[in-house]
A and B are shown apart, each in its own frame.
Chain A
Amino acid sequence: MRVDRRQACLTVMALAAAAPARAAFGFDELMATLAERKSGEARFAEERFVSGLDQTLNYTGTLSFSAPDRLERHTLTPRRESFIVEGNQLTLQRGERVRRLALDSVPELAAMVAAMRGTLSGDASVLRRHFRASVDGRAARWTLTLVPLDQRLLGVVRLLRIDGMQADVRVVELQLADGDRSVTTIEPVAPKARSATP
């Protein structure tokens, strides 16, 4: 009984000690952590689960970001395709064809880009403008959940779940309103390793 009480006591103390530690890592702390990283490069592998198709759709390629607002996604397999956004300008290339768009003329797209840019640069205001954001976990292993504020976008995108470690984004899961889903795993490429192999 005594022992139990002591154990209970210890458990309570441990919980008490842990609680403030957990509370200390919230949205603002995550943003501060993410803001430290000014640029990054990564490889990605995306798997999409689409109802009505016989198999999942798989894509791989590279991602790069440089603060404040340049984001590139180059799909390498199965077909080359690129998506480059800088400021309000979006450039899409597939095969020979290039398209350029003003990002804010397609609001759904603007919100999705804001989710990525806001997360990668730790820009809280950009995220809050478009999403209800919540954070779980610790700095070493966190999950950021973004739910669209705009009703129109909410009609298409249910939520975005982003998992990461410290300033690295590791998994981006996109859940669409119709139940389809895409999971992108991200493997950072050390900038030094890259610069060492010119």
Chain B
Amino acid sequence: MTAAAPASRRGWIAVASWLAAMAIGTVVIVQTRFSADLSAFLPAAPDARQRALVEQLKTGIAARTLLIGIRGGDSAERAAASRALAESLRASPEFEQVLNGDFTAFAAVGRWVFEHRYLLSPAVDARRFSAEGLREAIDDTLSLLGTPAGARVKPLLERDPTGEAQRIAENALTSGGPRTQDGIWVSRDGERALLMTQSRAEGSDLDAQAQVLAAVRRAFAAVAAPGLELQLSGAPKFAVDSRAQIQAETKALALAGTVLMGTLLLITFASLRALAAAMLPVASGIVAGVAAVSLVFGSVHGATLGFGTTLIGEAVDYAIYYLIQARGGGTAAAGAAAPGPGWRRWVHESWPTVRLGMLTSICGFLALAFSGFPGLAQLGVFSIAGLVAAGYTTRHVLPVWMPDGTSGLGLRRQLGHGAAVLVRTLPRVRHLFTALGVASLVFLVWRHDTLWQTELSSLSPVSAPDLALDAQLRDELLAGDERTMVAVTGADVQAVLQSVEAVSARLDALVQAGQLVGYDAISRWVPSLVTQQRRRDALPDATTLQANLALATQGGSLNAKRLGPFVQDVQRARQMPPIEPGSLVGTPVATLVSALLVRGADGGSTALLPVVRTPGPAGDGAQAAVEQALHGIAAAQAFNVADELRRLYSHYIREAQGQALLGALGVVLLMAAWLRSLPRLLAVCKPLALAVLLTMAGFAAFGVPLGILHLVGLLLVVAVGSNYSLFLDWLRHQGSGDEDTLASLLLANLTIVLSFGLIAASAIPALAAIGRVVAPGALLALLLSAAYAAPRVQAVPDSA
């Protein structure tokens, strides 16, 4: 190091503690777990129902379900590919279930259901096996004969004359499902073959999900005719893609940002040493930020790192201020010649302003740290820790290393001249800015209805075309409304099953009334033991049954003599062991059941009943009707996934708005406490408020609704912009237009605008949103600060 000039022991102690902190930070980071699932984009929901919902989205069946489309070629080629793909995937151990509409593959399920029909059929009760009940049931079954549907019934007539298998199948066939053509599912327009898979691996296991996706692509490539195109969608695809994208983009952005900034700094300072010094606070900030997030949250989300690169923008400013301002003399350029005073003067004159700027930024990020979205909270903590570390490094480490700032000249002088020109000319057009600001305000008030986003998807890292494909496939495969659910919870499986049966009885009424097309329930495949026992008790012994049958078939079309197999099957059912979830392992229905019953970690169980409401006006009140129907069944709750998410999102955007306003208020209070002058406070706040207004109006003018991340961007504009307006105000207060300080402001601004400009081009919507707000907003903040707070115009009083 050049000199021990920056004083002494205190200076070195500061450097030593910085080194120690960095070492500890590095140790923490090495042990940090980095996550990349979608959880950062899902709110940590406030009430139990919403928590259950978010938990479902993270780890439920949806998180394991892939939606697959096959396009191109002709319908025969698509059908062949669908069959071959399904066959190949069913043979692979990664998949629990592969559906493509070809139910010949489910013959095993059919056999199992047929074997257990007297325990499963909701029609089985004592009356069903009386002479009268048997006659009605046999008449119903016979009414299918002589029609195309009879082909399925006729071979089973002797074993199942009461049509229990038919009855169970009718219930299971709820929504009618996708369009079927050539024996496989196709889209309504017939141009796309459709499949759906559920992986064995958990949705949160992204490595396994990546393998699942690869397996599907491999299998498709092996079987598909040329010209066919595979389309994949669903939560696992999004999660895996986002992870890859976040990883790739984070790296690319960090690299591009560093190169860009490095080039800019090199051109400006023409000194490698200055470049290294400028990067030191940035690097320290990143180490501190990652370590802090890791300590507070237990893991660091990949997206936080991506957002965190935005921090480079502000942290590098501190170094720029120091490197330039510590060198130039306030009034005497010769000051640079004398070693020592440079850093001292900087600490005395500029540091308070930089520190104030840092505190205002922290104020803003503090609002984020309390956000309900883990991703945003991580970003808040990351930024606060990072800024403090960068500030500390600038204040205490740089003076030891480069006590006189940087000696390199580069383009600094030109920058200074340019900034001086800006400061001289902009105040002349400030009335124009004021007029623009007023116009923006009017415009924003006029458009206030459409200003804010209400969709959670705006937070999602998934791109719009991918979401559109997902919506299409989901609509075709799941009738568009599989997302209404009833969740039934209980301490043990039998309690849950009994509650599900109670819920089913009430939902049946809604199906009859036409409000619901249908629903699915675990109790169709695994009735509660109580219900199974009741059904078993309803089955008569052979003698009674034969007597009743003789009466029931008297004078009818079906001769009772043919029904020996029926009597035998009923007798066998009376001896059958009960069906329990545990006894299904290895049976063909295990997969059906796994989607409908979820075992909790605490030993409790949750059953999910996906509900399909009637399309069109008939189903309009379905959600309310379902909620009404559940009244009195404490264990059951209904929710519509889409509505619930929308409600959550609007809750969080209101919360974020409140936090942003609090943050802004904190910034104003801090500056008021420092400036202790209302006119100066107004002069400092006005350009910031205008920058925010103009940016928002710009988004409104382009018809882009603002989401939570735009709000974060606006917060950053205030945080960064406050540095400019404070510095310019300070200069004005001193009465001198110091070109070096102006140069440092312009350079700091350029780095911010460039680094956020990079982010604005990101393919991750969330990152791009921040970049698109901050790049223009920060530029506006500097220009407006120059217009309103420049030294020359100090005599003119501010207009209200």
Contact = CB atoms under 8 A, between A and B. Distances in A.
Interface string A56-93: 11010000000000000001001101000000000000
A156 B518 CA distance: 28
Contacts of A181: 146
* Centre residue among B145, B170, B177, B562 by max chain A CB count within 10 A: B145
Contacts of B183: 152
Contact of A109 (B148, B151, B558): B148
Q: Main SS of the interface on chain A? A: mixed
B151 A105 contact: no
Interface string A94-114: 101111111111111100100
A2 B157 CA distance: 69
Nearest to B185: A105
A27 interface: no
A102 B143 contact: no
A101 B173 contact: yes
B614 A104 contact: no
A178 B177 contact: no
B180 A98 contact: no
B558 A54 contact: yes
Interface in B134-164: 136, 139-140, 142-143, 145-151, 154, 157
Interface stretch (B8-16, B509-517, B621-629): B509-517
Nearest to B179: A104
Interface stretch (A45-53, A133-141, A189-197): A45-53
A50 B145 contact: yes
B146 A102 contact: no
B176 A182 contact: no
Contact of A59 (B136, B143, B188, B559): B143
Contacts of B157: 52
B148 A101 contact: no
A104 B180 contact: yes
Interface string A159-180: 0000000000000001011101
Contacts of B558: 53-54
B557 A180 contact: no
A137 B201 CA distance: 65
A78 to B, nearest CB: 7
Interface string B177-211: 11111110000100000000000000000000000
B180 A97 contact: no
Interface string B643-672: 000000000000000000000000000000
Given A57-B143, A97-B512, A182-B146, A176 B179 contact: no
B268 interface: no
B151 A178 contact: yes
Contacts of A96: 512
A78 B139 contact: yes
B514 A100 contact: yes
A94 B140 contact: yes
A49 to B, nearest CB: 7
Nearest to A109: B148
Interface in B7-27: none
Nearest to A59: B143
A55 interface: yes
B284 interface: no
B176 A100 contact: yes
B175 interface: yes
A176 B151 contact: yes
Contacts, number: 95
Contacts of A35: none
Contact of B146 (A99, A105, A106, A180): A180
B140 A49 contact: no
B620 to A, nearest CB: 16
A96 B150 CA distance: 22
B176 A106 contact: yes
Interface string B224-257: 0000000000000000000000000000000000
Nearest to A104: B179
Contacts of A50: 142, 145-146, 150, 154, 557
A188 B149 CA distance: 27
A50 to B, nearest CB: 5
Contacts of A177: 151
B169 to A, nearest CB: 11
B319 to A, nearest CB: 65
A78 B140 CA distance: 10
A54 B560 CA distance: 11
Interface string A31-54: 000000000000000001110111
A120 interface: no
Nearest to B139: A79
A157 interface: yes
Contacts of A152: 182-183
A96 B151 CA distance: 25
Given A98-B511, A102-B176, A102-B177, A182 B139 contact: no
A27 B173 CA distance: 38
B146 A178 contact: no
B18 to A, nearest CB: 68
Nearest to B145: A50
A152 B514 CA distance: 32
A172 B512 CA distance: 31
Nearest to B479: A102
Nearest to A93: B512
Contact of A55 (B143, B170, B173, B557): B557
Contacts of A57: 142-143, 145-146, 557
Contacts of A78: 139
A79 B154 CA distance: 20
A76 to B, nearest CB: 13
A112 B149 CA distance: 11
B614 to A, nearest CB: 7
A54 B559 contact: yes
Given A53-B557, A105-B178, A98 B514 contact: yes
Interface string B445-469: 0000000000000000000000000
A54 B553 CA distance: 11
Nearest to B188: A104
Interface string B533-556: 000000000000000000000001
Contacts of B182: 152
A39 B389 CA distance: 82
Given A48-B145, A79-B139, A105 B176 contact: yes
A109 B149 CA distance: 8
A34 B534 CA distance: 55
A104 B147 CA distance: 18
Given A53-B142, A102-B177, A104-B179, A176 B150 contact: yes
B148 A108 contact: yes
B448 to A, nearest CB: 41
The 7 closest A-B pairs by CB, nearest first: A48-B146, A102-B176, A105-B176, A104-B179, A53-B557, A101-B176, A182-B146
Given A81-B143, A104-B179, 6 more contacts: A56-B557, A79-B139, A102-B175, A105-B180, A109-B148, A109-B149
Interface of B: 136, 139-140, 142-143, 145-151, 154, 157, 170, 173, 175-183, 188, 479, 511-512, 514, 517-518, 556-559, 562, 614
Interface of A: 48-50, 52-57, 59, 75, 78-79, 81, 94, 96-109, 112, 152-153, 156-157, 174, 176-178, 180-182
10 contacts: A48-B147, A79-B140, A98-B511, A98-B514, A100-B514, A101-B176, A104-B181, A112-B148, A176-B150, A180-B146
